[in-house]
Amino acid sequence: MVLPLEMGWRHLLFENWPVDPDVMDAHLPAVLEPDVHDGTAWLSAVPFTNVAVRPKGLPEPLGIRLPELNLRTYVTHRGVPSVYFFSLDAQGVASVVGARLFHHLPYFYARIGLRWEQGRVRFTSRRHHPGARPARYEGTYWPSGEPFSAPSDPLAAFLVERYRFYTQAPDGSIRYTDVDHDPWTLYPAEADIGTDTLLASAGFARPDADPVYYYSPGLDVVASRSKRL
Protein backbone atom coordinates (compact mmCIF):
# COMPACT_ATOMS: atom_id res chain seq x y z
CA MET A 1 0.00 0.00 0.00
CA VAL A 2 1.43 3.36 -1.04
CA LEU A 3 1.45 6.19 1.45
CA PRO A 4 -0.17 9.57 0.75
CA LEU A 5 2.29 12.19 -0.50
CA GLU A 6 3.10 15.74 0.51
CA MET A 7 4.70 18.20 -1.89
CA GLY A 8 4.79 21.76 -3.11
CA TRP A 9 3.80 22.93 -6.59
CA ARG A 10 5.79 25.99 -7.69
CA HIS A 11 6.03 28.39 -10.65
CA LEU A 12 3.02 27.06 -12.55
CA LEU A 13 1.71 28.17 -15.90
CA PHE A 14 -1.84 27.13 -16.79
CA GLU A 15 -2.05 27.29 -20.60
CA ASN A 16 -5.69 26.64 -21.50
CA TRP A 17 -7.44 26.09 -24.84
CA PRO A 18 -11.19 25.81 -25.49
CA VAL A 19 -12.08 22.54 -27.22
CA ASP A 20 -15.31 21.14 -28.63
CA PRO A 21 -16.83 18.76 -26.02
CA ASP A 22 -17.37 16.04 -28.65
CA VAL A 23 -13.68 16.16 -29.58
CA MET A 24 -12.72 15.83 -25.94
CA ASP A 25 -15.20 13.03 -25.31
CA ALA A 26 -13.53 10.95 -28.04
CA HIS A 27 -10.26 11.06 -26.07
CA LEU A 28 -11.72 10.03 -22.69
CA PRO A 29 -12.53 6.69 -21.07
CA ALA A 30 -16.25 5.93 -21.37
CA VAL A 31 -16.88 6.26 -17.64
CA LEU A 32 -15.80 9.92 -17.59
CA GLU A 33 -17.64 12.87 -19.11
CA PRO A 34 -16.09 16.12 -20.35
CA ASP A 35 -16.80 18.97 -17.97
CA VAL A 36 -17.74 22.21 -19.72
CA HIS A 37 -17.70 25.92 -18.95
CA ASP A 38 -20.28 27.89 -20.94
CA GLY A 39 -20.68 24.88 -23.21
CA THR A 40 -16.95 24.44 -23.92
CA ALA A 41 -14.48 21.77 -22.83
CA TRP A 42 -10.89 22.79 -22.08
CA LEU A 43 -7.44 21.31 -22.62
CA SER A 44 -4.50 22.55 -20.53
CA ALA A 45 -0.72 22.26 -20.54
CA VAL A 46 0.84 22.93 -17.13
CA PRO A 47 4.61 23.34 -16.75
CA PHE A 48 5.90 23.69 -13.16
CA THR A 49 8.14 22.11 -10.59
CA ASN A 50 7.31 19.89 -7.64
CA VAL A 51 9.35 20.55 -4.50
CA ALA A 52 9.84 18.52 -1.33
CA VAL A 53 7.98 15.48 -2.69
CA ARG A 54 7.85 12.92 0.12
CA PRO A 55 5.58 10.44 1.91
CA LYS A 56 3.15 12.26 4.19
CA GLY A 57 4.64 12.87 7.63
CA LEU A 58 8.30 12.97 6.61
CA PRO A 59 10.21 16.23 7.17
CA GLU A 60 10.29 18.58 4.20
CA PRO A 61 14.13 18.48 3.80
CA LEU A 62 13.86 14.75 2.94
CA GLY A 63 11.72 15.45 -0.11
CA ILE A 64 12.91 15.63 -3.70
CA ARG A 65 12.49 18.21 -6.46
CA LEU A 66 10.72 17.05 -9.60
CA PRO A 67 10.20 19.41 -12.57
CA GLU A 68 7.09 18.41 -14.51
CA LEU A 69 4.89 19.12 -17.51
CA ASN A 70 1.40 17.75 -17.72
CA LEU A 71 -1.41 17.71 -20.26
CA ARG A 72 -4.90 17.53 -18.81
CA THR A 73 -8.57 18.16 -19.27
CA TYR A 74 -11.61 18.57 -17.03
CA VAL A 75 -14.11 15.81 -16.37
CA THR A 76 -16.95 14.77 -14.12
CA HIS A 77 -17.91 11.42 -12.65
CA ARG A 78 -21.07 11.21 -10.58
CA GLY A 79 -21.15 14.97 -10.43
CA VAL A 80 -17.64 15.45 -8.98
CA PRO A 81 -15.59 18.00 -10.98
CA SER A 82 -12.14 16.53 -11.56
CA VAL A 83 -9.03 16.52 -13.74
CA TYR A 84 -8.04 13.81 -16.22
CA PHE A 85 -4.36 13.47 -17.12
CA PHE A 86 -3.34 12.47 -20.64
CA SER A 87 0.38 12.63 -19.83
CA LEU A 88 2.84 13.78 -17.17
CA ASP A 89 6.45 14.35 -18.23
CA ALA A 90 8.97 14.53 -15.40
CA GLN A 91 12.69 14.55 -14.73
CA GLY A 92 14.04 11.66 -12.69
CA VAL A 93 14.00 8.02 -13.79
CA ALA A 94 13.30 6.61 -10.30
CA SER A 95 10.44 9.04 -9.71
CA VAL A 96 8.85 8.25 -13.07
CA VAL A 97 9.11 4.49 -12.51
CA GLY A 98 7.70 4.82 -8.99
CA ALA A 99 4.79 6.97 -10.14
CA ARG A 100 3.94 4.47 -12.86
CA LEU A 101 4.18 1.41 -10.62
CA PHE A 102 2.64 2.65 -7.39
CA HIS A 103 0.37 5.55 -8.39
CA HIS A 104 -0.66 4.27 -11.85
CA LEU A 105 0.07 7.65 -13.40
CA PRO A 106 1.00 8.04 -17.09
CA TYR A 107 4.42 9.54 -16.37
CA PHE A 108 7.10 9.79 -19.04
CA TYR A 109 10.77 10.41 -18.47
CA ALA A 110 11.90 13.76 -19.85
CA ARG A 111 14.83 16.10 -19.50
CA ILE A 112 13.37 19.27 -18.01
CA GLY A 113 14.84 22.61 -17.06
CA LEU A 114 13.06 25.35 -15.08
CA ARG A 115 14.66 28.52 -13.84
CA TRP A 116 13.50 31.96 -12.76
CA GLU A 117 15.24 34.78 -14.62
CA GLN A 118 14.45 38.48 -14.19
CA GLY A 119 10.81 37.96 -13.34
CA ARG A 120 10.20 35.22 -15.90
CA VAL A 121 10.22 31.43 -15.84
CA ARG A 122 12.24 29.73 -18.55
CA PHE A 123 11.04 26.17 -19.09
CA THR A 124 12.26 23.40 -21.41
CA SER A 125 11.11 19.79 -21.66
CA ARG A 126 12.08 17.02 -24.06
CA ARG A 127 10.65 13.52 -23.64
CA HIS A 128 13.15 10.63 -23.66
CA HIS A 129 10.89 7.81 -22.52
CA PRO A 130 11.59 4.53 -24.38
CA GLY A 131 8.81 3.69 -26.83
CA ALA A 132 6.78 6.83 -26.14
CA ARG A 133 5.70 9.41 -28.68
CA PRO A 134 8.15 12.32 -28.72
CA ALA A 135 7.08 15.55 -27.05
CA ARG A 136 8.87 18.88 -26.66
CA TYR A 137 7.81 22.08 -24.94
CA GLU A 138 9.96 25.19 -24.61
CA GLY A 139 9.20 28.77 -23.68
CA THR A 140 9.04 31.50 -21.09
CA TYR A 141 6.12 32.73 -19.01
CA TRP A 142 5.52 35.40 -16.42
CA PRO A 143 2.82 37.09 -14.31
CA SER A 144 1.42 40.19 -15.99
CA GLY A 145 -1.17 41.62 -13.63
CA GLU A 146 -2.43 41.76 -10.09
CA PRO A 147 -3.01 38.58 -8.06
CA PHE A 148 -6.53 37.34 -7.46
CA SER A 149 -8.22 34.44 -5.72
CA ALA A 150 -9.22 31.80 -8.27
CA PRO A 151 -12.65 31.13 -6.69
CA SER A 152 -13.57 34.77 -7.42
CA ASP A 153 -13.37 34.23 -11.21
CA PRO A 154 -15.71 31.66 -12.84
CA LEU A 155 -13.34 30.47 -15.58
CA ALA A 156 -10.27 30.39 -13.33
CA ALA A 157 -12.21 28.49 -10.68
CA PHE A 158 -13.36 25.98 -13.31
CA LEU A 159 -9.78 25.39 -14.52
CA VAL A 160 -7.87 25.16 -11.23
CA GLU A 161 -10.17 24.57 -8.25
CA ARG A 162 -10.29 20.79 -8.58
CA TYR A 163 -9.53 18.29 -5.87
CA ARG A 164 -9.62 14.91 -7.62
CA PHE A 165 -7.75 13.62 -10.64
CA TYR A 166 -8.24 10.53 -12.80
CA THR A 167 -5.89 8.46 -14.94
CA GLN A 168 -6.17 5.25 -16.92
CA ALA A 169 -3.79 2.51 -15.78
CA PRO A 170 -2.00 0.23 -18.28
CA ASP A 171 -4.52 -2.55 -17.51
CA GLY A 172 -7.36 -0.26 -18.61
CA SER A 173 -8.70 0.40 -15.13
CA ILE A 174 -9.55 3.95 -14.07
CA ARG A 175 -7.72 5.25 -11.02
CA TYR A 176 -8.30 8.38 -8.97
CA THR A 177 -6.46 10.40 -6.36
CA ASP A 178 -7.83 13.12 -4.11
CA VAL A 179 -5.74 16.20 -3.34
CA ASP A 180 -6.04 18.75 -0.56
CA HIS A 181 -4.71 22.30 -0.69
CA ASP A 182 -5.70 25.92 -0.12
CA PRO A 183 -7.56 27.82 -2.85
CA TRP A 184 -5.32 28.99 -5.66
CA THR A 185 -3.92 32.48 -5.93
CA LEU A 186 -3.44 33.30 -9.62
CA TYR A 187 -2.07 36.09 -11.77
CA PRO A 188 -2.99 36.97 -15.32
CA ALA A 189 -0.02 35.78 -17.36
CA GLU A 190 1.75 36.09 -20.65
CA ALA A 191 3.85 33.44 -22.34
CA ASP A 192 6.16 33.00 -25.28
CA ILE A 193 6.01 29.28 -26.13
CA GLY A 194 8.46 28.62 -28.94
CA THR A 195 8.11 24.84 -29.27
CA ASP A 196 5.11 22.70 -28.36
CA THR A 197 4.49 19.19 -29.65
CA LEU A 198 2.83 18.04 -26.43
CA LEU A 199 -0.72 18.25 -27.77
CA ALA A 200 0.17 16.36 -30.94
CA SER A 201 1.78 13.59 -28.88
CA ALA A 202 -1.63 12.96 -27.28
CA GLY A 203 -3.47 13.01 -30.59
CA PHE A 204 -4.85 16.55 -30.45
CA ALA A 205 -4.78 19.07 -33.25
CA ARG A 206 -3.70 22.46 -32.01
CA PRO A 207 -6.82 24.56 -31.32
CA ASP A 208 -7.38 27.63 -33.46
CA ALA A 209 -8.25 29.83 -30.48
CA ASP A 210 -5.53 31.63 -28.53
CA PRO A 211 -4.86 30.10 -25.13
CA VAL A 212 -5.86 31.69 -21.84
CA TYR A 213 -2.89 32.00 -19.47
CA TYR A 214 -2.68 32.05 -15.68
CA TYR A 215 0.43 31.99 -13.49
CA SER A 216 0.72 30.90 -9.87
CA PRO A 217 3.75 31.01 -7.57
CA GLY A 218 2.35 27.80 -6.09
CA LEU A 219 0.98 26.13 -2.99
CA ASP A 220 1.47 23.05 -0.83
CA VAL A 221 -0.46 19.85 -1.48
CA VAL A 222 -1.34 16.53 0.13
CA ALA A 223 -2.28 13.73 -2.30
CA SER A 224 -4.12 10.58 -1.22
CA ARG A 225 -3.31 7.02 -2.22
CA SER A 226 -4.28 6.01 -5.75
CA LYS A 227 -7.59 4.14 -5.72
CA ARG A 228 -9.34 2.00 -8.30
CA LEU A 229 -12.66 3.38 -9.51
Q: Where are the domains of the chain?
A: 15-50+68-217
Q: What is the CATH number of domain 15-50+68-217?
A: 2.40.400
pLDDT at 9 over 60: yes
Share of the chain above pLDDT 90, in %: 77
pTM beyond 0.75: the answer is yes
pLDDT top residue among 78 and 1:
78
Instruction: Please state whether 116 falls in left (phi above 0), alpha (psi between -120 and 50) or beta.
Output: beta
End-to-end Cα separation, the chain, in angstroms: 16
Q: How far is the C-alpha of 17 from the C-alpha of 209, rounded, in Å?
A: 7
